[in-house]
Amino acid sequence: MVKVVEVRGLVKVYEGPGKRQVRALDGIDLATDRGECVVLLGPPGSGKTTLLRAVSGLEAPTAGEVHLGGHLMNGLPPRIRRVGLVAASHALYPHKTVRGNIEFPLKAERVPRGTRERKARWAADLLGIAHLLDRRPGRLSGDERRRVALARAVAREPAVLLLDEPLSDVDGRLRAAARDELRSLQRRLGTAMICVTHDQAEAMGLGDRVAVLDAGRFRQVGTPQDLYEEPVDTFVATVIGTPPMNLVPRGDRLVGFRPEHLLPAEEVPPDGRVTMPLRVDRIEFLSGDRHVYGRVSRICPETRVIARLPATVTTPLAAGEAREFAVPADRLRFFDAEYGNRTAPVRIAG
Ligand SMILES: Nc1ncnc2c1ncn2[C@@H]1O[C@H](COP(=O)(O)OP(=O)(O)OP(=O)(O)O)[C@@H](O)[C@H]1O
């Protein structure tokens, strides 16, 4: 099947300060289907924005190919690509009205006035901002500006929406609802979507697949569940999940386990578990869970870890106390201590 977006071997080299070369993208392959949302997750400077800009045509790749709907796009300008890019800044024209902003790209494509007006109205209705069409961006709230930027991208009826940090300015408590709204908008439009974020919770909530980017390369691309349960290296293991995966040293390996899999020993069936003493340093109560900060030993030199106990686990615990904890053996993940990549499991007694 033809992919909505297909990127092959994409490389982007910038000339940095002092003629130093920066490989912002270093061999990226990615394909998205219709209706799919792929989230690019990575630390600042990992190349997320550069990848969006390369797909949109704002940035010419140094090497590699960008295909849209099966057609090679290299060298073609943004306005003839069926993409709707929303920059993190929203990039609204302050002197134009909301209507003027939404119609602007259509004007650049020489869409006749009547069609332009109809499309702008349709997009504004879709985003719930029809009542704001005559206002200027300076008089809008952050949320309204975000909707205008989205309406402007949507009005072009793109095959793919490219969104840079789409929810970064949405208040924490409203994020989940905003995510849901974004996905239902996408479903109604039937477009593909590529979003950029540095927030793992947002990536996991929004994406059908998440692509973890580091220094211009993908570490792993997979479903949120894949990434969470089967991280390919310690980078992905610690980027995904809050609190992150615990990693304790054991010989030439690092042994990883998620905080919710480290429980008081009596909570873990004795068959196939690995036990370890945990000395409690501090306990936090968060949304009904207890986050226990402490140090484990025996399976490793004393190492700091976090255990996350759901409300259903009522074992009394206090700072300063030591207690036997356990992890089901099939929840342990093993990594090479030097390079951080995943290795085969190692048997740990008890
Ligand atoms: N126009 C440019 N000229 C030179 N270097 C650039 C340019 N644009 C980006 N870079 C460099 O390319 C690398 C990737 O930048 P990019 O903005 O794509 O990262 P990012 O993951 O989107 O980061 P952030 O989360 O901070 O937006 C960084 O090292 C950045 O400094």
Condensed to tens digits (0 to 9), the pLDDT of residues 77-119 reads 888 899 999 988 888 999 999 999 999 999 988 899 999 999 9
Calculate the average pLDDT of the chain.
Answer: 93
Q: How far is the CA of 88 from the centre of ligand 1 (A)?
A: 13
Ligand 1 in reach of 224 Cβ (< 6 A): no
* pLDDT reported for residue 16: 80
pLDDT band at 124 (very low <50, low <70, confident <90, very high): very high
Q: 47: closest CA among 164, 145, 152?
A: 164
At the fourth CATH level, the homologous superfamily of domain 248-336 is Nucleic acid-binding proteins (2.40.50.140)
Spacing, Cα 7 to ligand 1 middle (Å) = 19
247 C-alpha to ligand 1 centroid (Å): 30
Say if ligand 1 is within 6 A of residue 217 CB: no
**What are the structural domain ranges in the chain?**
5-229, 248-336
Question: Lowest-confidence range among 3-7, 54-58, 166-170?
Answer: 166-170
**pLDDT reading at 217 higher than 70:** yes
120 phi/psi in degrees, rounded to 5: -65, -40
Of the candidates 57, 95, 94, the one whose C-alpha atom is nearest the C-alpha of residue 77 is: 57
Q: How far is the CA of 93 from the centre of ligand 1 (A)?
A: 24
pLDDT tens-place string over residues 297-311: 999 999 999 999 999
**Protein residue with its CA nearest to atom 11 in ligand 1:** 24
Q: From the CB of residue 77, how many other CB atoms can be counted at a distance below 10 Å?
A: 10
- CA–CA–CA angle 13, 17, 25 (5° rounding): 20
Overall average pLDDT of the 228-238 stretch: 96
Cα 49 to averaged position of ligand 1 atoms, centre (Å): 7
Tokens read off for 276 = 């370890």
Does residue 133 surpass a pLDDT of 70? yes
What is the complex's ipTM, to 2 decimals? 0.96
Pocket test for ligand 1, best of 19, 40, 49 (most atoms within 8 A of CB): 49
Percent of residues, the chain, with pLDDT higher than 90: 82
Choices 3.40.50.11860, 3.30.160.40, 3.40.1350.10, 3.40.50.300: CATH for 5-229: 3.40.50.300
**Whether residue 46 has its Cβ less than 6 Å from ligand 1:** yes
Least confident interval from 83-87, 331-335, 345-349: 345-349
Mean pLDDT score, 24-45: 95
Q: Rounded CA gap, 180 and 170, in Å?
A: 13
pLDDT for position 298 = 94
49 in ligand 1 pocket by Cβ < 6 Å? yes
Residue of 12, 22, 28 to test ligand 1 pocket, by largest number of atoms within 8 Å of CB: 22
pLDDT (0 to 100) of residue 88 = 87
CA distance 123 to 114: 14
* Whether the predicted pLDDT of 55 surpasses 70: yes
Report whether pLDDT(350) > 70: no
pLDDT bucket at 279, cuts 50 / 70 / 90: very high
Ligand 1 center to 25 CA (angstroms)? 9
State the average pLDDT over residues 32-44.
95
Which residues, other chains included, contact 310 with Cβ-Cβ below 8 Å and sequence gap of 6+?
260, 288, 289
Answer yes or no: are the C-beta atoms of 84 and 163 closer than 8 Å: no
